[in-house]
Amino acid sequence: MSSKKIGDVILDVRNISLKFGGVNALTDISFNVREHEIRAIIGPNGAGKSSMLNCINGVYRPQMGSITMRGQTFSHMDSHQVASMGIGRTFQNLALFKGMSVLDNIMSGRNLKIRSNILLQALRLGPAEREEIMHREAVERIIDFLEIQAFRKTPVGQLAYGLQKRVDLGRALAMEPQVLLLDEPMAGMNVEEKQDMCRFVLDVNDEFGTTVVLIEHDMGVVMDISDRVVVLDYGKKIGDGTPEEVRNNPDVISAYLGTSH
């Protein structure tokens, strides 16, 4: 890990506030993400972690604040734009096409990269066919990377949960993202599946240089694989720093363990 090169700030979130009616989901949150790092967002249930990711991802529009991605500043993001800027994500409760094969699900992640039009594809004309072969190669590399060769043609709905999570990651990787947002990638997994997933996240970060922003509940995992950690509680940022710093932060300790009054 020591030889990893962490670059400049690639994603900068400033003073984000998000309200649903009278509920303050996020209040004045600022943090940044550096290129090639693994950045974790942690916090107790309802702290606003997924809301934060949804703001970056363009699913929610924050009422205040700005998000800067590689020098371009936005008051809110738009999902399409986010994807074309190279931000990919996975979902907490999976959003896969259950009836489609693993291969097709991952191929759907290549959507934005496909250039030939629907007519060319339907007729399987030369350029469309060549393009499909190219995309298939990219998908096959991901299948190899995630070690799911045995399930290439299996409908996703038939796979075990841990494998579905892997396919979800595969689809996000298919768009060759520069920044990957992972919403609880290890939720509901057993120890062995968690170890596998950790290895994949580290390998993605290492082999492709992908910047990773992840939400995770398992503290062991977070402390092991993250470079820096943001801690949220009741929509407010209460800590930010290396795992070591966060671990020793008294606010964080009281948010997780409670304090005596």
Partner 1 sequence: MRAAAPAMREKEYGIWQTWTWRALASMVEQIAAGLHQAGLRRGAHMVVVGANRPRLYATMLAAQSLGAVPIPLYQDAAGAECVFPINNAEVAFAFAEDQEQVDKLLEIRPQCPQLSHIYFDDPRGLRNYDEPGLAALDELQSAGKAFAALHPDFFADEIAKIGPSDVAAMFFTSGTTGNPKGVVHTHDSLLNRARAGADFDHLTDHEEVLAYLPPAWIGQNIFSYAQWLSCGYVVNCPESSATATIDLKEIGPTYYFAPPRVFEGLLTSVMIGMEDAGALKRRMFHAFMRVAQRVGPARMDGKPVGWTDALLYVLGNLLVYGPLRNNLGMSRVRVAYTAGEAIGPELFTFYRSIGVNLKQLYGSTETAVFVCLQPDHEARADTVGVPCAGVEIKVADNGEILVKSPGLLKEYYKNPTATAEVLTADGWYHTSDAGFIDAHGHLKIIDRVKDVGRIQGGAFDGAMFAPKYVENKLKFFQHIKEVVAYGDGRDRVCVLINIDFDAVGNWAERRNLPYAGYTDLAQKPEVYQLVRECVEKVNADLSADTLLAGSQVSRFLVLHKELDADDGELTRTNKVRRGFIAEKYQPLVDALYEGKTEQFIETQVKFEDGRSGSVSAVLKIDDAKIFAPVRAAA
**Residue in 206, 208, 217, 251 binding partner 1, rule: CB under 8 A:** 206
- With respect to partner 1, which residue has the nearer C-beta, 133 or 257? 133
- With respect to partner 1, which residue has the nearer C-beta, 113 or 199? 199
**DSSP-based three-state secondary structure for 201:** helix
Of 54, 53, 48, 50, give the one whose Cα is nearest residue 23.
48
Q: Give residues 128-147 in contact with partner 1 (rule: CB under 8 A).
A: 136-137, 140-141, 143-145, 147
* Three-state secondary structure string covering 48-97: CHHHHHHHHHCCCCCCEEEEEECCEEECCCCHHHHHHCCEEEECCCCCCC
Distance CA 91, CA 77 (A): 18
Residue 250 has what DSSP assignment?
H
Helix (H) or strand (E) holding 12: strand 9-20
Per CB under 8 A, which region of 65-73, 92-100, 104-112, 149-157 contacts partner 1? Answer: 149-157
207 binds partner 1 (CB under 8 A): yes
3 binds partner 1 (CB under 8 A): yes
Q: What is the residue whose two structure tokens read 């060319």?
A: 120
160 binds partner 1 (CB under 8 A): no
**Residue in 150, 157, 188, 250 binding partner 1, rule: CB under 8 A:** 150
**DSSP-based three-state secondary structure for 6:** coil
Considering the complex, what minimum distance in angstroms separates the CB of residue 140 from partner 1? Answer: 4
**Residue in 192, 257, 258, 259 binding partner 1, rule: CB under 8 A:** 192
Binding site for partner 1 (CB under 8 A): 1-4, 136-137, 140-141, 143-145, 147, 149-150, 152, 191-192, 195, 199, 202-203, 206-207
